[in-house]
Amino acid sequence: MSIVVVGSIGYDTVETQFGRVDEALGGSASFFSVAARFFSPVSMVAVVGKDFRDEHLKFFAERAIDIRGLVQREGETFRWHGRYHEDMNQRDTLHLALNVFADFMPELLPDQCRADFLFLANISPQLQQRVLSQMKSPKVVAADTMDHWINTERTALLKMLPRVDILTLNDQEARLLAQEHNLVRAGRAILKMGPDTVLVKRGEYGVLQFSQESMFAVPAYPLEEVVDPTGAGDTFAGGFMGYIARHGKITESVLRTAVVYGSVMGSFVVERFSLDRLADLSWEEIDARYRAFIELTDSHHSRWISQ
């Protein structure tokens, strides 16, 4: 079943200890869509400027990503320039230019309004509400947020959360939203705000999934090198939502498997700059890493039981 994603598309300049890339394709909708399309059809809603390159429109189209909702307007495309510390969990934003994204007002196409699965990427809670008001009767709504919205639009965010089935946010954002330092207490507190499931992303330490009846912890897949963490959270969300859309419903088993697939997808994107690793990724590689992930975390895996 298809997924509609509403978010940003932009050009990123990224510096890490492994080098620098200038004006690379980025944005939450880009990372999400390229990851999710391995599992399910994806339809974008985003805005770009007249400077958006044809090669990137072709990049999406070649991967069967629906770009009918990608609006091109006068002006320049969203830009971000960031520099990561040696500890890749920390980064500094050196430059941010919202450009045409500053007055983005998402308008869904008629068939997008009828979609079963919706992912609201990191846009303001007011815009997320605007999108939700256009949807007919989605089966699953997932949303992302960040510290900026928690600090500046907390009331709007709290109003939106009861309409969301799944909320994704990182560990610092979870603590800020819940006003709890302990992540377990924070996850439980956010559940009381409305979502049925809360996913707390912890970078190199993995993911915590909270639901009304259980908690599930998944480590990050161990890598020798992390080249560029940009987009890892949105790539995780793409794999996670893509798997759920493929199954068409939510159960505890589907949720847990989706978290693992999301973690697998996130482990690939950080291996190179921008979307480069996802661009040539194959399903065979995804399946192999998923199996390796299960073997890594399952002490009763069949490989070891017979020994």
* Residue 227 in tokens: 């080249």
Which is higher by pLDDT, 109 or 307? 109
Cα–Cα distance measured from residue 102 to residue 104, given in angstroms and rounded to the nearest whole number: 6
Give the strand order in the sheet containing 166-170: 66-73, 42-49, 3-6, 117-120, 140-144, 166-170, 197-201, 207-211, 215-218
Whether residue 304 has pLDDT greater than 50: no
- Under DSSP, the state recorded for 106 is -
pLDDT (average), residues 246-262: 93
pLDDT tens readout for residues 151-193: 999 999 999 999 999 999 999 999 999 999 999 999 999 999 9
Buried b (16+ CB within 10 A) or exposed e, 117-155: bbbbbbbbbebbebbbebbeebebbbbbbbeebbeebee
How would DSSP label each residue in 42-96? EEEEEEEETT--HHHHHHHHHTT-EEEEEEEESS--EEEEEEE-SSTT-EEEEEE
Q: What is the pLDDT of residues 26-35, one digit of tens each?
A: 999 999 999 9
Is residue 12's pLDDT more than 70?
yes
Averaged pLDDT for residues 208-217: 92
- Count Cα neighbours of 180 within 13 Å in the Cβ-side half-sphere: 11
> So what's the pLDDT on residue 249?
84
On whether the pTM is more than 0.85, the answer is yes
Could you count the other beta carbons within 10 Å of the beta carbon of residue 179?
A: 9
The mean pLDDT of 218-224, rounded to a whole number, is 90
Q: Which residue has the higher pLDDT, 243 or 214?
A: 243
Question: Both ends of the chain: CA-CA distance in Å?
Answer: 41
Residues 222-242 pLDDT 10s: 998 899 999 999 999 999 999
Homologous superfamily of 3-299 in CATH? Ribokinase (3.40.1190.20)
The pLDDT, as a whole number, for residue 301 is 55
The structural domains of the chain, with segments of one domain joined by +, span 3-299
pLDDT digits (tens, 9 = 90+) for 51-97: 999 999 999 999 999 999 999 999 999 999 999 988 887 889 999 99
pLDDT, the chain, mean = 93
Give the β-pairing of 3-6 and 42-49: parallel
